[in-house]
Structure 1
Amino acid sequence: RDKEIDLVIGIGGGSVTDAGKAISAMIPHQDSIINYLEGVGTKKTNGQKIPYIAIPTTSGTGSEATKNAVISRIGEDGFKKSLRHENYIPNIAIIDPELMISCPASITGACGMDAFTQLLEAYVSTKANPMTDALAYSGMKHMKDALIPASTNNADDIGIRSKMAYGSLMSGIVLANAGLGIVHGLASPIGGFFDIPHGTVCGTLLAEATRMNINKLKEKGIEGRISLKKHAKIGALLMGEESMKEGKMYEYLDHLITTLEHWTTSLKIEKLGKYRIKKDDFERIIYKTSLKNNPIHLSKEDIYQILKNRL
């Protein structure tokens, strides 16, 4: 604050991008960022900041396109909360797939699952609209055949990395405008209580959460049909069919879940238990969990089952 800094540049993954965003925002202030975090502090930021350039080196959070910086404090009373203002969107975002080529396979896979989760959750969100649907669908179309190669035998393919980078950028744009669902609702308390990478949380929960959403939507009958069709459309996309064929909706739904499970296994996304999460922790996790803009209401028992299946 006393160095007369004119510009902040964040080069790295989502945490680095958010940290740079927060630093640029807090330099003009004279107190702690804690005072301005949603759900933690009591002050409202005025949006004043130092100009900020975001240069992502992973394809995951899409933070280069969002107005919030997620700040974590890990522990018994931990949290993951946002510093948020329209003016906090980076002044410039430089998205260069060449910077992502050296990203390790495990991080590429987890970050990619986070981006795909954001795309899918925004697509089926209760706040989705035609514009966010188009961008989310486009992002998933680019990522669907790039995620596994980028994390395995084609990590140095600039074309593959470009598709991942594009999908990640789209995920940031759509989450900012359509919101997210239960996976990210769970990721917030889990990431606050436990030292677990955000991409791992999203990647390990996505298939199970999608299965639960689809099952609950089926139970709603005609009320759930519109959202089921949106889920089925992504299943069709993953099957290589951009136009859904008559009578195949349930086949597409099954394929969506099967593909997400295949990705989770192929990318070796770790389960929650790897990070010392136990059944005894579920109650406090669920207590702090928000459904956000999930397409269907889930009970505490439903959320418990999602966690249990990935323990």
Structure 2
Amino acid sequence: MDLKHHCIKLNDGHFIPVLGFGTYAPEEVPKSKAEEATKLAIDAGFRHIDSAHLYENEKEIGQAIRSKIADGIVKREDIFYTSKLWLTFLRPELVQPALEKSLKKLQLDYVDLYIIHFPMALKPGEEMIPKDEHGKVIFDTVDLCATWEALEKCKDLGLTKSIGVSNFNRRQLEMILNKPGLKYKPVCNQVECHPYLKQSKLLDFCKSKDIVLVAYSALGSHREKKWVDQSSPVLLDDPVLSALAKKHKRTPALIALRYQLQRGVVVLVKSYNEKRIKENMQVFEFQLTSEDMKVLDGLNQNVRYNSVAFAADHPDYPFSEEY
């Protein structure tokens, strides 16, 4: 990891900034906030912006990026933008149109990274999460290897620089890696990862295949009732994180972020608060000792904050290590 330039080289030769700005927000947060926060993040020094079709904010994120380009703050090539293929578009013939739809909203010519959001398909259509008359989610049967070939075509067409996956476990990754005629390996696997869910086995496997692990919910979670068990422990209240924060004169959040960087993990952090957005950039200003890292390793409890409730009936659920 080149922490000096804050980037890691991907297996296709492109570079990904190790600290990314996550843009998901609960439904009640106005979409205009995503635009404001993304502008603040770029001003603070973030160059890696992560969004998705599911977040329904790509129009606003695109406006933020383009306005910062117009202001001369950044060039397009300075920004690393990730979008995600939603589950109703996993049929091979729907992949390119889905990416083109995102590009149209963003008003950009390409994304830097396009990833499969989850390793399962939902029935195509207008509904984000299609359900039958009994309220049961309607799944679709899709060969993920065929979906992957459609992503490879998008890369060849220049619509995306790199392609990867999210929420895949080892078996699902191996299915892609062992696919006959594989043209491009996934450059990354984006999964929930934090001191309470270390994902060590998955991280070791990804490293062995030159696949970057990207951590979401790196600070635990925003605790949105729709996704998160309200009885789960609050990561940032952990006394170990608090003690290390005191020792390094930083916040518990910065300790959790720095921990991931020193493990070779690319980390996403989301905040719509200007002070915190700026504060999160301090992750490059200090280092944890090997003793600190050992102590943090000991916090693992395999606590998963993001339960994908709609997926509970799927035969492959839950996804990723221990996933």
The reply to whether TM is greater than 0.5 is: no
Bin the TM-score by the shorter chain. Answer: under 0.3
**TM, length-normalised to structure 1:** 0.28
Larger relative helix fraction: 1
| Structure with the higher fraction of residues in strand conformation | 2
- TM-score normalised according to structure 2 size: 0.27
